[in-house]
Amino acid sequence: MISVEEALARCLALVAPLPPETVPLAEAAGRWMCVPAVATRDQPPFAASAMDGYAVSGNPAPDDTFLVIGEAGAGHAFDGTVGPGQAVRIFTGAPLPRGASRVIIQEDVVREGDRIILRKGLDSATHIRPPGQDFRAGDSLSPRRLRPNDLALLAAMNIPAVQARRKPVVALIATGDELVMPGETPGPDQIIASNGFALKALVEAEGGEARLLPIARDNEAELLTVLSLAEGADLIVTIGGASVGDHDLVGKVAGLEHSFWKLALRPGKPLMAGRLNGVPMLGLPGNPVSAIVCGHLFLLPMVRAMLGDPSPAPQPRKGRLTVDLPANGPRAHYMRARLAPDDGLPGIAPFDRQDSALLSILGQADALLIRPVDAPPCRAGDTVPYLPL
Ligand SMILES: Nc1nc2c(c(=O)[nH]1)N[C@H]1C(S)=C(S)[C@@H](COP(=O)(O)OP(=O)(O)OC[C@H]3O[C@@H](n4cnc5c(N)ncnc54)[C@H](O)[C@@H]3O)O[C@H]1N2
Ligand code: MOO
């Protein structure tokens, strides 16, 4: 059996960044911008007032008096020059009038008709934002997954649309005679298909587009029919039917070229990956926790790689074990665990029950505690790697 690291490398070798498309800014949140965005203007484009007050020239002192000769507002420059003894009423964001060297905030001024007198103790700040203080024409924003804050910066740069990787379309196919959809009435030997819902949400939260296809029954004809509905997908993901049972048909389906089948992982041993008629394919195990853990470990990195993420692999963090653990066996164990915040490293403890059918435990978990292959026993207080969930 290959290692988790080898399996991930082979999964990533099946996919490549998708071509870019033009995305309007209003639809670009969460998209992967793949070409640097370059500002075409300075921000602010002119020296601007940072406060509401009076623009004056020189270096005024308390009790100085000025004649107010006009007004400057945001979007409305004062068309003149401020000379000695003169002031222009000015508001936040307005262009600084020619000749002005400072803005006196209105709290530091007594206004009497068209005159102002400066109060004692006035502050010494200029309250002027110089041109290009935020960014200059030619400054660029590097490729990244766009967060809301990035969108405001791009808008300020006067960039109405970005080049972003097309969203990968992921077809999700649950397999099994025992499955019905939530809300349906299961027969006495049936259960509800659950895994696809978590996987769909994971893919979408990562920026992909997930299509939950109809459940494929355990016969080759029906599996092929449902697989044909995945046409146009960038990645086909099957759930279940990956193991060695007589009804586990996914690995034998016509057109599948295996990259690997089985890896030294718990949960998730029967995971397979390859190409189905040329399309990247991931065959997840059916046990709910196995399917979802493999979703985190392999499906999401593949989605990220198609979106152009240069570091698509999961990034383990460090926690402080709060219980003793026995030695691990020949499969890397990704244990469902709970984190406890601390001043330093968070505390981490695995749940006692680690059966890969237990969605109720997965629901309480906020981390996967990573126990490497053949890891020796560890003690409470040891530093251990984990992945947040
Ligand atoms: N003799 C062996 N038996 C098994 C082995 C093995 O090595 N030798 N591996 C076990 C491991 S590990 C896993 S994991 C499972 C995976 O098997 P499959 O991928 O073939 O999954 P199924 O048999 O189809 O289903 C397993 C389990 O999960 C339920 N299931 C399936 N799909 C869904 C779904 N969409 N939503 C909710 N639950 C689902 C299914 O009803 C079964 O209970 O094989 C072990 N066996
Ligand atoms: O290792 Mo299987 O993946 O759940 O139990």
Does 42 score more than 90 pLDDT?
yes
Query: Which helix H or strand E contains 300, and what residues bound it?
Result: helix 300-306
The atom of ligand 1 lying closest to the CA of 283 is: 19
Token pair listed for 229 = 């509905």
Which residue CA neighbors atom 1 of ligand 2 most closely? 267
Could you tell me if the CB of 195 is within 6 A of ligand 1? Answer: yes
Could you tell me if the CB of 304 is within 6 A of ligand 2? Answer: no
**Domains present along the chain, CATH in parentheses:** 4-18+167-306 (3.40.980.10), 30-43+135-165 (no CATH), 48-129 (2.170.190.11), 318-388 (2.40.340.10)
Measured in angstroms, how far is the CA atom of residue 145 from the centroid of ligand 2?
33
Q: Are 80 and 97 in contact (CB under 8 A)?
A: yes
Measured in angstroms, how far is the CA atom of residue 175 from the centroid of ligand 1?
10
pLDDT tens-digit series, residues 280-328: 999 999 999 999 999 999 999 999 999 999 999 999 999 999 999 999 9
User: How many angstroms separate the CA atoms of 161 and 61, rounded?
Assistant: 49
Q: Are 321 and 378 in contact (CB under 8 A)?
A: yes
Q: What is the pTM of this model?
A: 0.93
| CA angle, residues 129, 135, 140, in degrees to nearest 5 | 175
Measured in angstroms, how far is the CA atom of residue 287 from the centroid of ligand 1?
5
Q: Are 327 and 36 in contact (CB under 8 A)?
A: no
Segment 32-59 shows an average pLDDT of 96
Under DSSP, the state recorded for 297 is I
Q: Is 187 exposed, middle or buried (0-12, 13-18, 19+ CB in 10 A)?
A: exposed
Measured in angstroms, how far is the CA atom of residue 270 from the centroid of ligand 2?
7
pLDDT tens-digit series, residues 176-234: 999 999 999 999 999 999 999 999 999 999 999 999 999 999 999 999 999 999 999 99
The atom of ligand 1 lying closest to the CA of 262 is: 7
Does 389 score more than 90 pLDDT?
yes
**Closest CA relative to residue 17, chosen from 382, 317, 309, 238:** 309
The atom of ligand 1 lying closest to the CA of 243 is: 20
Could you tell me if the CB of 182 is within 6 A of ligand 1? Answer: no
User: How many angstroms separate the CA atoms of 189 and 80, rounded?
Assistant: 86
Does 82 score more than 90 pLDDT?
yes
User: How many angstroms separate the CA atoms of 73 and 131, rounded?
Assistant: 17
Write down the pLDDT at residue 247. 85
User: How many angstroms separate the CA atoms of 208 and 295, rounded?
Assistant: 13
Contacts of 106 (CB under 8 A, 6+ apart): 51, 52, 53, 54
Measured in angstroms, how far is the CA atom of residue 265 from the centroid of ligand 2?
8
Token pair listed for 177 = 């005679």
Write down the pLDDT at residue 2. 98
* Ligand 1 site-directed mutation target among 218, 243, 354, most atoms within 8 Å of CB: 243
Q: Are 303 and 325 in contact (CB under 8 A)?
A: no
Write down the pLDDT at residue 254. 85
Measured in angstroms, how far is the CA atom of residue 270 from the centroid of ligand 1?
9
Q: Are 30 and 146 in contact (CB under 8 A)?
A: yes
Measured in angstroms, how far is the CA atom of residue 45 from the centroid of ligand 2?
60
Measured in angstroms, how far is the CA atom of residue 366 from the centroid of ligand 2?
19
The atom of ligand 2 lying closest to the CA of 265 is: 1
Could you tell me if the CB of 290 is within 6 A of ligand 2? Answer: yes
Contacts of 36 (CB under 8 A, 6+ apart): 140, 141, 142, 143
Write down the pLDDT at residue 185. 96
Q: Count the Cβ atoms, other than its own, within 10 Å of residue 240.
A: 29
Contacts of 185 (CB under 8 A, 6+ apart): none
State the average pLDDT for the chain.
97
Helices (H) and strands (E) in the chain, counts: 7, 28
Measured in angstroms, how far is the CA atom of residue 288 from the centroid of ligand 2?
9
pLDDT tens-digit series, residues 235-260: 999 999 988 888 888 999 989 999 99
The atom of ligand 2 lying closest to the CA of 266 is: 1
Q: How far is CA 282 from the centre of its chain?
A: 22
Q: Which residues pair with 22 in a beta bridge?
A: 163
CA distances from 387 to 8, 11, 99, 293 (A): 15, 19, 59, 10
User: How many angstroms separate the CA atoms of 79 and 102, rounded?
Assistant: 17
Write down the pLDDT at residue 262. 97
With the CA atoms of 294, 297, 298 and 303 taken in that order, what torsion angle do they form, in degrees rounded to the nearest 10? 120
**Closest CA relative to residue 290, chosen from 315, 318, 262:** 262
Could you tell me if the CB of 248 is within 6 A of ligand 1? Answer: yes
pLDDT tens-digit series, residues 115-137: 999 999 999 999 999 999 999 99
Starting at the earlier edge strand, list the strands of the sheet with 86-90.
Answer: 102-105, 53-56, 86-90, 65-72, 115-118, 109-112
pLDDT tens-digit series, residues 141-167: 999 999 999 999 999 999 999 999 999
The atom of ligand 1 lying closest to the CA of 215 is: 35
Q: 106 — phi, psi (to 5°)?
A: -65, -20
Under DSSP, the state recorded for 74 is T
User: How many angstroms separate the CA atoms of 243 and 251, rounded?
Assistant: 8
